[in-house]
Amino acid sequence: MKTCTVVCGYRPQLNTIEGDLIGTDRGCLYLALNGYKDFVAIGDFDSVNDDEYKIIKDNSRELIKLNPVKDDTDLEHTLHFLEERGYKKALIYGALGGRQDHNLLNIKLCLLSEISAVLMDSKHKIFSLAKGSYSIEKNNYRFLSLFVFEEAIVNLEGVKYPISFKKIGFKDLYTTSNEIVAESCHIDILEGRVLIVQCND
């Protein structure tokens, strides 16, 4: 699976780097100032000044400058770019914790993306799953929550509160704050798409 790590601009904390490095807007400056050189830089760069832009330009191996007057965000454009380049999975840092409208938009992008987009910060791992059977690793996260925005049928095993082939709707709220009881749990999604949030306090 062709994988990459995307770094956005809100206080990124790189815990794990997989595959190629992609910087998005001010996230490119973080990469350049922290010694990373072999990365692709994407953005309209309206969040950096001229000197910072030069640092990004001098340290990236490829720079894609977007028009600041556009209908998509820098991260949305980046995800489309990754899809075109054949990537199947992206770990995304620096996309959570800032403005709430940006948080919600980035979570929505995670849910709608054609590639496997995983939002990461110091407390969260957020990703979505379509129909299929999966193993979810605990990886030191205490809580596991499921959210649906369309009706889904889910079977969840290996957790404190199992779900047995149950239909879950948008108004169902009981699927939060579950816990994986061993090293991993198993989930079957028979219909719909599910947003998975693993987190700590």
Q: What is the pLDDT of residues 21-38, one digit of tens each?
A: 999 999 999 999 999 988
| β-bridge pairing 116-120 and 152-157 | unpaired
**Per-residue pLDDT tens for 65-120?**
998 877 788 999 999 999 999 999 999 999 998 889 999 999 999 999 999 999 99
Tell whether pTM > 0.85: yes
Q: Which residues share a beta bridge with 185? A: 136
Q: Burial, 120: exposed, middle or buried (Cβ in 10 Å; 0-12, 13-18, 19+)?
A: buried
Tokens of 16: 């794990």
**Per-residue pLDDT tens for 121-163?**
999 999 999 999 999 999 999 999 999 999 999 999 999 999 9
Predicted local distance difference test score (pLDDT) of residue 72: 82
Identity of the amino acid at 35: G
**Residue pair 5/82 in contact by the 8 Å Cβ criterion:** no
Predicted local distance difference test score (pLDDT) of residue 14: 86
Predicted local distance difference test score (pLDDT) of residue 43: 94
Distance, in Å, from the CA atom of 51 to the CA atom of 91, rounded to the nearest integer, reads 28
Secondary structure, 3-state, 132-198: EEEEEECCCCCEEEEECCCCEEEEEECECCCEEEEEECCCCCCCCCECECCCEEEEEEEECCEEEEE
**Residue pair 133/185 in contact by the 8 Å Cβ criterion:** no
Secondary element (H or E) of residue 107? helix 100-112
What residues contact 101, with CB distance under 8 A and at least 6 apart? none
Tell me the C-alpha to C-alpha distance, in Å, between residue 78 and each of 74, 137, 171: 6, 27, 32
Handedness of CA 15, 85, 95, 198 (dihedral sign): negative
Distance, in Å, from the CA atom of 12 to the CA atom of 6, rounded to the nearest integer, reads 10
- Residues 3-30: what's their mean pLDDT? 93
Single out the residue of 173, 170, 159 nearest to residue 192, CA to CA: 170
Distance of CA 158 to the CA centre of its chain: 24
**Per-residue pLDDT tens for 157-173?**
999 999 999 999 999 99
